[in-house]
């Protein structure tokens, strides 16, 4: 009698993207998979956020959040997905917490809409903030040195070859020149503020108050914070910190791998996180749902 082969299911991490991952077809995905979520977005935002994705974070963040949850719904349509870990890049953390059952869906959408509005207002209030991407081999190693030399902050440590700095807009050309001298490519980004830096401090009080009023549930799987690159310990506190602290995405991916994740599934619009994982991890399975 032949022995039956038992197929081992790899430990799975679900990844929820952040701003910049929007695609032209994502509204159609939400309309098809979660028309109820499309209606809820109109109610919470006050209008259809998909129609104004390019008008700033106040619209882009709720639209991407809804598209990510629609992707999650499609992935789990035939039953609950067996995953051990979830993580999100910036606003994607809120999608991950909803999928894990820690946040109710409506609460998550209201938080995202508030977060997007507050970040946009903080950028407009400061008026002089911006971001510059450092690209190429050695970006992760050189970013801290370049940030310190020019008085800006590391905002997104995305992969070994991609790091984004935030700070006063008039300092960014000098950052770009120094990056070029160090053998890196630099690209000043078309954004309205110095996100994930101390220049977002004015967004903190109202966002913290909204989080304090919410009831949180116990997550069904381990959710990692991109602020600590470790499992969430203080959900409210770490979500607030994420407004002004860097997104440690490269370290988060490495932490997921260290915890045992072998399969990484991106559920949101675009393929941004799949690309970052490909540049950061070896010997893992990458899936864009």
The pLDDT value given to residue 2 = 46
Contact in structure between 208 and 238 (CB atoms under 8 Å): no
The pLDDT value given to residue 266 = 96
Q: Are strands 222-225 and 263-266 parallel, antiparallel or unpaired?
A: unpaired
pLDDT band, residue 81 (cuts 50/70/90): low
pLDDT band, residue 10 (cuts 50/70/90): confident
Judged against a pLDDT cut of 80, whether residue 13 lies above it is answered with yes
Query: pLDDT per residue over 23-48, tens digit each?
Result: 999 999 999 999 999 999 999 999 99
Angle of CA points 16, 19, 22, to nearest 5°: 85
The pLDDT value given to residue 79 = 59
User: Domains along the chain?
Assistant: 12-125+197-288 (3.40.366.10), 128-188 (3.30.70.250)
Which sequence positions are flagged as catalytic?
A: 90, 196
pTM of the model: 0.93
Long-range contacts of 233-239 (CB under 8 A, 24+ apart): 235/97, 235/102, 236/208, 236/211, 236/212, 239/93, 239/94, 239/111, 239/207, 239/211
The pLDDT value given to residue 9 = 60
Interval 131-140 mean pLDDT: 97
Q: Which of 17-26, 96-105, 196-205, 242-251 has the lowest mean pLDDT?
A: 17-26
Contact in structure between 272 and 23 (CB atoms under 8 Å): no
Query: pLDDT per residue over 256-269, tens digit each?
Result: 999 999 999 999 89
Contact in structure between 67 and 26 (CB atoms under 8 Å): yes
The pLDDT value given to residue 180 = 96
Judged against a pLDDT cut of 70, whether residue 53 lies above it is answered with yes
Give the separation between CA 267 and CA 88, rounded to whole angstroms: 10
Query: pLDDT per residue over 84-109, tens digit each?
Result: 999 999 999 999 999 999 999 999 99
Judged against a pLDDT cut of 80, whether residue 5 lies above it is answered with no
Those residues whose C-beta lies under 8 Å from the C-beta of residue 165, and which sit 6 or more positions away, are: 131, 132, 133, 134, 143, 146, 147, 152, 153, 154, 155, 172, 175
The pLDDT value given to residue 78 = 62
The pLDDT value given to residue 6 = 40
Judged against a pLDDT cut of 50, whether residue 253 lies above it is answered with yes
Interval 143-167 mean pLDDT: 97
């Amino acid at each position: 009698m032949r022995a039956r082969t038992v197929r081992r299911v790899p430990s799975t991490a679900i990844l929820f993207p952040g701003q910049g991952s929007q695609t032209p077809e994502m509204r159609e995905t939400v309309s098809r998979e979660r028309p109820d979520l499309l209606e809820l977005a109109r109610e919470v935002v006050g209008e259809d956020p998909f129609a104004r994705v390019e008008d700033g974070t106040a619209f882009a963040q709720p639209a991407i959040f809804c598209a990510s949850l629609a992707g999650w719904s499609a992935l789990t349509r035939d039953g609950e997905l067996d995953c051990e870990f979830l993580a999100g890049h910036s606003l994607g953390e809120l999608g991950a917490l909803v999928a894990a059952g820690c946040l109710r869906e409506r609460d998550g959408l209201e938080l995202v809409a508030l977060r997007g509005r507050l970040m946009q207002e903080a950028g407009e209030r400061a008026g002089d903030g911006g971001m510059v991407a450092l690209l190429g081999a050695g970006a992760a190693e050189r970013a801290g040195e370049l940030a310190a030399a020019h008085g800006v902050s590391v905002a997104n440590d995305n992969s070994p070859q991609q790091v984004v700095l935030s700070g006063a807009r008039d300092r960014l050309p000098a950052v770009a020149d120094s990056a070029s001298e160090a053998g890196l490519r630099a690209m000043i980004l078309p954004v309205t503020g110095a996100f994930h830096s101390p220049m977002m401090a004015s967004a903190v009080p109202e966002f913290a108050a909204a989080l304090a009023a919410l009831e949180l549930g116990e997550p069904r799987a381990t959710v990692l914070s991109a602020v600590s690159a470790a499992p969430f310990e203080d959900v409210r506190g770490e979500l607030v910190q994420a407004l002004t602290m860097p997104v440690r995405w490269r370290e988060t991916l490495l932490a997921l791998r260290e915890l045992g994740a072998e399969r990484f599934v991106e559920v949101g619009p675009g393929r941004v996180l799949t690309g970052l994982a490909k540049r950061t991890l070896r010997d893992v399975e990458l899936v864009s749902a």
